Amino acid sequence: ASFLPLCFRTSLVTPLIFSLLLQPPLTQLSAVTQPNIVLLMADDLGIGDVGCYGNDTIRTPNIDRLAKEGVKLTQHIAAAPLCTPSRAAFLTGRYPLRSGMDAINNYRVIFWNGGSGGLPPNETTFAKILQQQGYSTGLIGKWHQGVNCESRNDHCHHPLNHGFDYFYGMPFTLVSDCQPTETPEMDRAFRRKLWVYTQMIGLVTLTAALGRLTGLISVRWKTLTCLAGFSLLFFISWFSSYGFVRYWNCIMMRNHEVTEQPMVTDRTTSLILRESVSFIERNKHKPFLLFLSFLHSHTPLLTTEKFLGRSSHGLYGDNVEEMDWMVGQVLDTIDKEGLKNTTLVYFASDHGGWLERHEGKRQLGGWNGKYKGGKAMGGWEGGIRVPGIFRWPGVLPASKVIDEPTSLMDIYPTVVHLAGGVLPQDRVIDGRDLMPVLQGTVEHSEHEFLFHYCGIHLHAVRWHQKNSGATWKAHYMTPVFHPPGAGACYDRGFCPCFGEGVTHHDPPLLFDLSRDPSEAKPLSADTEPLFDTVIRKIGRAIEEHRRTLTPVPEQLSLYNVVWKPWLQPCCGIFPFCWCDKEGDN
């Protein structure tokens, strides 16, 4: 009578034991549940340049498809209005002020591959944490976070020192100097001054020499020799850097190796796309992080021939449409490899479009829609409000729109959480995990306040008053537009952060973005009953925020941004730096 139950129990237990023996270890199981992460970041793309954000003349079907299949953020905010500090915040989840990547002067970005400033080695990027969690990590495209610290090969700021297993792209950023046919862009006004000073010194030297030869001026030959030597040294001191921008800054690297110096711009787009597709195909059998950092749509707007003349917005529109095509190629690769449902895809821009960038009647910068201001403006929405789209089929809802304040810094805790990592406990992380708000398990973003810096100067603060739905924004400094009312600083090419180029506001300009997203009508104590209450609340938040700041070395100090020959990446024997390792020869 007891035999049948015993057999029955044995028949149940035996398969269970075998299944336990065959079960993979927990670490392997957790690795399977880790999603692949593909981060797509455009360069200088305005929020008004994308179809799903209201543009009906530039065609962006692939970016629009991401929004249709995923979640679109309408209040996605960059932590800075320029490349270097914004990307530093993106990579670290921290305001760039905390890592020393915001400027105290007018040099607000990394200026040379041969400079000594950059993302400090003691900063922990999300790539480093995902690398520790077993991810294959790759960066394809633009870096712009520095290369070396003390010697040509120490690579202290290099992507491979910040958690990326593989790097292919530009350690710097695109500038018009990279195209021999374009007008030089880098430090253009300063270069003009140096040319004038050189000519003045040369003219003085020549006049003195002619005066000495004709007997009109009594001057010793030794003095003339010293003056001529000084003139030559002055010229060499600046022309050795600014005269060779294309060789020093416009280079391509694969890991630590310089592969093109100068870069061959005609094939850059195809190589970046090829490398991106190859990285996905090589790593499809394990979790991977791909950060595809586009060179589009930064000047000189490198665009292949098949896209030229296709848009109704000139070269800039052509360039954006080509980038959208590249997005489509990456998405097609993900689909082809069967990775669509296990891959989180994110698309954004590093900051707003560059309004002042034009050559004659050619507009070469982006459009920021209804938002005031643009690139380099730390407070106005047009400089910091950017596209933000997430897609993860089966996990995130499709065609969802979220109008909550979110930040590029939020990517850091979001991807760390998804990878099963732990946020650093020894530093302030300003980003917040976005998964609850993306999935709809919570109604509001965790951000109550966001601080909008221009360099190290606090220009504006945003307060999301969750109980009322209002989003207040107080401006303490705003740039002086020229011509007045033009909406940009066309006289300078960039709006400054401090000095005579800004206006201080006391009391601050106050807007309710939920009613006035274009920041057209500032409120006052007469027109807004809550004016004083809001200003006091934001003032207390600023005090609390400043108590969390600690002094750090200034990575964009004048010493760190100047070109240093001994730090210059070189594929030959310096100064004979030229090579093309991607070509047939």
Residues 331 and 430 in one domain: yes
Inside any domain, residue 17: no
- What is the rounded average pLDDT of the residues 344-367? 94
- Counted domains in the chain: 2
Inside any domain, residue 169: yes
| Tokens representing residue 105 in the block | 């002067």
CA-based nearest residue to 256, from 173, 119, 164, 178: 164
Beta strands in 392-501 (DSSP E): 400-402, 406-407, 449-454, 457-465, 470-479
Q: Cα 272 vs. chain centroid, distance in angstroms?
A: 17
- The pTM assigned to this predicted structure is 0.92
457 touches 101 (CB < 8 A): no
Q: Could you tell me the pLDDT band of residue 584, with boundaries at 50, 70 and 90? A: low
Q: Is the pLDDT of residue 527 over 50?
A: yes
Q: Is the pLDDT of residue 171 over 90?
A: yes
pLDDT tens digits, one per residue of 67-122: 999 999 999 999 999 999 999 999 999 999 999 999 999 999 999 999 999 999 99
| Tokens representing residue 82 in the block | 């320029």
Inside any domain, residue 23: no
Alpha-carbon radius of gyration of the chain: 27
Inside any domain, residue 27: no
Residues 120 and 211 in one domain: no
pLDDT tens digits, one per residue of 18-77: 343 343 343 333 333 899 999 999 999 999 999 999 999 999 999 999 999 999 999 999
Q: Is the pLDDT of residue 4 over 70?
A: no
pLDDT of residue 561: 96
pLDDT of residue 390: 98
Q: Decide which of 220, 242, 264 is a domain's last residue.
A: 242
pLDDT of residue 98: 98
pLDDT tens digits, one per residue of 420-468: 999 999 999 999 999 999 999 999 999 999 999 999 999 999 999 988 8
| Tokens representing residue 526 in the block | 């007469």
Residues 286 and 429 in one domain: yes
Which CATH number does the domain housing residue 363 bear?
3.40.720.10
Calculated CA dihedral for residues 489, 494, 498, 502, nearest 10 degrees: 10
Please, what's the b/e burial string for 513-543 (b: 16 or more CB within 10 A of its CB; e: otherwise)? beeebebeebbeeeebebbeebbebbeebee
Fill in the DSSP letter of residue 573.
B
DSSP string, 480-521: --BSTTSSSBTTTSS--SSGGGEEEEEEEEEEETTT-TT--S
Q: Decide which of 218, 242, 266 is a domain's last residue.
A: 242
Phi, psi at 363, each rounded to 5°: -85, 120
Q: Contacts from 323-326 at CB under 8 Å and sequence distance 24+?
A: 323/42, 323/45, 323/294, 323/296, 323/297, 324/59, 324/60, 324/61, 324/62, 324/63, 325/62, 326/269, 326/272, 326/273, 326/276, 326/294, 326/296
Residues 262 and 146 in one domain: yes
Residues 339 and 280 in one domain: yes
Residues 398 and 476 in one domain: yes
Residues 229 and 168 in one domain: no
Tell me how far CA of residue 143 lies from CA of 192, 273, 350, 570, in angstroms: 28, 16, 12, 17
Residues 569 and 449 in one domain: yes
Inside any domain, residue 3: no
Residues 235 and 295 in one domain: no
Q: How far apart are CA 85 and CA 79, in angstroms?
A: 8
Residues 158 and 205 in one domain: no
Inside any domain, residue 5: no
Q: Is the pLDDT of residue 14 over 50?
A: no
The position carrying tokens 């003339």 is 224
pLDDT tens digits, one per residue of 471-486: 999 999 999 999 999 9
pLDDT of residue 184: 85
Query: Catalytic amino acids?
Result: 83, 144
Residues 476 and 342 in one domain: yes
Q: How far apart are CA 527 and CA 522, in angstroms?
A: 9
Residues 284 and 238 in one domain: no
Domain that holds residue 159: 36-174+250-580
Inside any domain, residue 147: yes
| Tokens representing residue 205 in the block | 């030297």
pLDDT tens digits, one per residue of 179-238: 988 888 888 788 889 999 999 999 999 988 898 888 888 888 888 899 899 999 999 999
Inside any domain, residue 22: no
- What is the rounded average pLDDT of the residues 522-550? 98
Q: Is the pLDDT of residue 13 over 50?
A: no
